[in-house]
Structure 1
Amino acid sequence: METLALRVQVPAFAGATLPDDYAELLGAGLGGICLFGTNTAAGEESVRSLAAEIRAASATGGWDPVITIDEEGGDVTRLEALTGSSVLGAAALGAADDLSLTEETGRAIGTRLARAGVNLNLAPVADVNSNPDNPVIATRSFSRDAGVAAKHVAAWVRGMESTGVAACVKHFPGHGDTGQDSHVALPVLDVDLATLRDRELVPFLAAAEAGAASVMTSHIVVPALDPELPGTLSAPVLGMLRDLDFEGPIVSDALDMAGASATRGIPAAAVLSLRAGADLLLLGPEKPVSLVRETADAIVAAVESGELPLDRLQDAVARIDRLLADLADSAESSSDRLGDPDPDPGFAKRSVEGARRALAAVSDLTGIPDLTGARVVTVDTAANIAVGDVPWGISPDLVLRPGDPLPDLPDVPLVVQVRDAHRRPEVARIVADLPGVAVLVEWGWPGAYDPGVPRLCPQGYSLPGVAAVTEVLRRSGWTR
């Protein structure tokens, strides 16, 4: 039971090398490791070396590890956290509405992950972002329309899994129609069952039909199914996923998030999640080995007390083993792909063309004034935890933060960059108070907000998005 209790856990540590105590845990049966920014900051070669260390440590106990990461493209990237993603994110892909480009993007990310030694990608996002004030999903969603989101989720999954890297579609049963971030609160999805089936579940059904290997839970309460427990801990919610004939592992969202463990702690949340039907438990970033052991002890105690049936724990491990066996079947071809070149230059060009279409879909491209001599001003705001501290926007001449006094500015046009100004009144006030604003570039969700000047909405940050915005600005005389 102690081994089984380790097999279902996937924690994370800090740094680009495997700590000795984590190596010992992997040899004892730890399910795997989730990689975050501190693990990937040294570059892809370093990640490949770290993945090899993880595999070697697991091999001492005869195990195959899950090595997983959040690589969604666009705003959420770990491998390109220092430079910004070289591929379009979900919202831009949905707006461009080119399924071949979406599939190609999934394939490009998968190829890179396979080369780095990652075998499970915690992506794509299947949430339908029907609430424009959503603080955590937003541009990570392919669309506010369930049908559009569904077809792009399926295409992205097909592309990703063609590389031998498993997809993990998230956040079941749907985090899109919420107004809070489950990292710091417990959101409520207050819709009836008909809406849930006709909107939230549609992309997950499409993902399952496309062969998605796993599905991630969400820490949100769905009163129509369970008025008390968040989905990650709720048997009715996770049972609905099994009712959709999905047989792969159910992966918990990180259990250190407030929506799961704020009132009960991670070990208790782990037991509840397993009992509800989850199979693979993500613990969150930079966790000490002591927490992993404490969580394993709680799982064993729950089995011994009868709170958690032993066959439920065994079933969870069996589902993980089947996933790992499927991945092992493609290990040889994945190894071959380590020598593959980066995606062809045509993919980069197609990505920029997709960024142009996404920009045109919701932007005001008329009436942009002469931008000769224009300065770029960034109104900087903290990103949500899922996105993290990564670069965004065009390189600015000036950075302002809410609360800063407005500086004396030269009498030149201003290109002002923001994120989610429609739901951040403090940002809207700065934009209104700045003299000479000529263009607003909205890098977040294109919510309803009229700045009184032309607005460019690339629908998430990416390097192709920067190229598309830069083209528009230069056509109007910006020369930097």
Structure 2
Amino acid sequence: MSAELVRLAMTVLQPGFEGTSPPDWLRRALGEGLGGVILFARNSIDEQVVRSVRAENPGAIVAIDEEGGAVTRLEVLAGSSFPGNRALGVADDVDLTERVGRQIGRMLAELDISLNYAPSADVNANPENPVIGVRSFGPDPDLVARHTVAYVAGVQGAGVAACAKHFPGHGDTITDSHLALPTVHASRAVLDERDLPPFRAAIAYGVRSIMSGHLLVPALDPSMPATLSHSALTDLLRGELGFDGVVVTDAIEMQAVADMFGPGEIAVRALAAGADTICAGRADEHSLREMRDAIVAAVRSGTLKEERLAEAAERVLALSAWYADRAALREKAVADVDESVGLEVARAALTTTGAAVLDRGPLVVEVNTRLNQAVDPATPTGIAAALTARLPTTARVRLDPDGELPALDDRPVVLVVHDAARHPWVREAVARVLAARPDAIVVDTGISDAPVGAAHLATHGISRVSAQAAAEWLTR
């Protein structure tokens, strides 16, 4: 195989890796022209990790999912310094959203990270959605569009590329694409009116990247998910919407596509459909070589046009050049610390009913659900920690689906729930506690249900500052 063809194939691949430093196989691949790397919380991200990547390929795109709120890779243990999208949408102040985007961009600029896979531009049209929820600015297309633009403006104003996801919109699904292939049962007219406006707005603003969703959208393509669909990525996104930046796939190990094809076949089909970068978050040396060799073989057989591969590689390199040209912006952003904005948004977004006030340490009962597959399992809700900081005798217990309610003594009780409206067992647990203790306080960190309890607080997301805002209100 020719060296140039191999280099083109390597340029369009973006693997993740295990461990806290790039393994030898990844270092070799970077030296061979690997176009990028995606980082996760498991990599214990710091300047040294990024420096090790750039030592092998200075122009590599270093990417990360740093949405704020529940999806954070840099602040996974303490919780994010910034509320997520739903809180921003509830506050509905685009200046605040841009400030949050800029501060997230500043964090990435400090680490020399090129590309942030955020914001989620999905319109959360279905309250039963198991994977988007509070990651969306809300259920209204106009609100989502204006906050998507503000967020992109903030991140890119800090000299870091932003990415609108998950095209053409993951908001009207009841299936998590990490686990299976969701279907969006919407007409083309509904897509145009509901799901596409945030992407149109982001493109008009100049977002540098768009991530495809692993979604079957029969109105666009009845047989292939958007990631593998020429109709979705080339005809619609490139043609009708006019996007000329980098199209990146959602992670190809997600079951929505991994159940259909192997890594090499997914890479070839995605490139042929119009994608430019193949994100493989759980790659290893074998799967990276499999993807590279499959791309090369597809070009040689004519299955994938070499011009299409070259175009994809050119877009990746153009994004790398865009990042390199904005060093001055990043230097300015790093010095522009806005420490108050996260808590400012959290306070503005906090929705309260009732008037209960804690004057002593409560028993915090966390009614635990797996948040969703995009959220790192180590991410805390933070409510117990925030209350403990103010009331040191606070105690915490966890209640799982099969667990028994804890003994409820005379201490105040705070129930922390997430997306209670989606989980019957959570609603039942809340009802049982309230039957025994009508004075219990309920804090919902997700898509909020109807208010119940002596006081009901909705943080509209999970973050350290959202928990702090709730604790402030409860101990005011």
Distance in 1 (CA, whole Å) between partners of 2:404 and 2:249 is 43
Partner Cα separation in structure 2 for residue 123 and residue 432 of structure 1: 37
Q: What whole-Å deviation, never above 9, does each CA across 1:58-81 have from its counterpart, x for those lacking one?
A: 15xxxx101000000011100101
CA distance in 1, matches of 2:68, 2:102: 11
Which segments of 5 or more consecutive residues in structure 2 lack a partner in the other structure? 385-394
When the two structures are superposed, what TM-score results if normalisation uses the length of structure 2?
Answer: 0.92
Are positions 1:309 and 2:305 aligned together? yes
How much has 1:190 moved relative to structure 2?
0.7
Residue matched to 2:18: 14
Match of 1:387 in 2: 375
1:253 is displaced (CA, Å) by 0.4
Q: How many Å separate the matches in 2 of 1:104 and 1:353?
A: 11
CA distance in 1, matches of 2:98, 2:357: 37
Confirm or deny that 1:85 pairs with 2:84.
no
Distance apart, 1:90 and its partner CA:
0.5
1:410 partnered with 2:432: no
Q: In 1, distance between residues paired with 2:451 and 2:105?
A: 38
1:255 and 1:284 in contact (8 A); partners too:
yes
Per-residue deviation, residues 194-213 of structure 1 (Å, max 9, x unmatched): 11011100111111122100
The answer to whether residue 230 in structure 2 is matched with residue 235 in structure 1 is: yes
Partner in structure 1 of residue 349 of structure 2: 358
Contact 1:164 1:327 in 2 (8 A): yes
What percent of counterpart residues are identical? 44
1:271 aligns with 268
- Pairing partner for 2:444 from 442, 447, 456: 442
Task: Please tell me whether residue 378 in structure 1 is matched to residue 363 in structure 2.
Answer: no
Letter paired with 1:185: A
Contact 2:119–2:162, Cα closer than 8 Å, also in 1: yes
Q: Deviations over 1:291-320 (max 9, x none)?
A: 100111111111111111111111101111
Asked whether the 8 Å contact 2:157–2:329 carries over to 1, the reply is no
**Counterpart of 1:249?**
246
Q: Residue type of the partner of 1:310?
A: E
1:368: how far off? 3.3
Q: 1:157 to 1:370 in 2, by over 3 A?
A: closer
2:36 is the alignment partner of 1:32? yes
Does the 8 Å CA contact 1:115/1:337 hold for their aligned counterparts? no
TM-score, normalized by length of structure 1?
Answer: 0.92
Q: For residue 8 of structure 1, report the CA deviation from its aligned partner.
A: 0.5
Q: Give me the whole-angstrom Cα distance separating, in 1, the residues matched to 2:271 and 2:318.
A: 17
Distance 2:14 2:6 in 1: 15
Q: SS in structure 2 opposite 1:228? A: coil
Amino acid at match of 1:436: R
Provide the residue aligned with 1:327 in structure 2.
323
Q: Which residue of 1 aligns with 2:281?
A: 284
Q: For the residues of structure 2 that align with 1:373 and 1:5, how far apart are their CA atoms?
A: 58
What amino acid is aligned across from residue 379 of structure 1 in structure 2? V
Q: Which runs of 5+ in 1 are unaligned?
A: 41-45, 476-480
Could you say what the CA RMSD is over the residues aligned between the two structures, in angstroms?
Answer: 1.7
- How far, CA to CA, are the matches of 2:46 and 2:336 in structure 1? 17
Q: Specify the alignment match of 1:209 in structure 2.
A: 204
| Paired letter, 1:463 | R
How many residues align? The count is 456
- Equivalent pair of 1:75/1:460 in contact (CA under 8 Å): yes
Answer whether contact 1:128 1:199 (CA < 8 A) is retained.
yes
Match of 1:478 in 2: none
Measured after TM superposition, the shift of residue 358 of structure 1 is 1.2
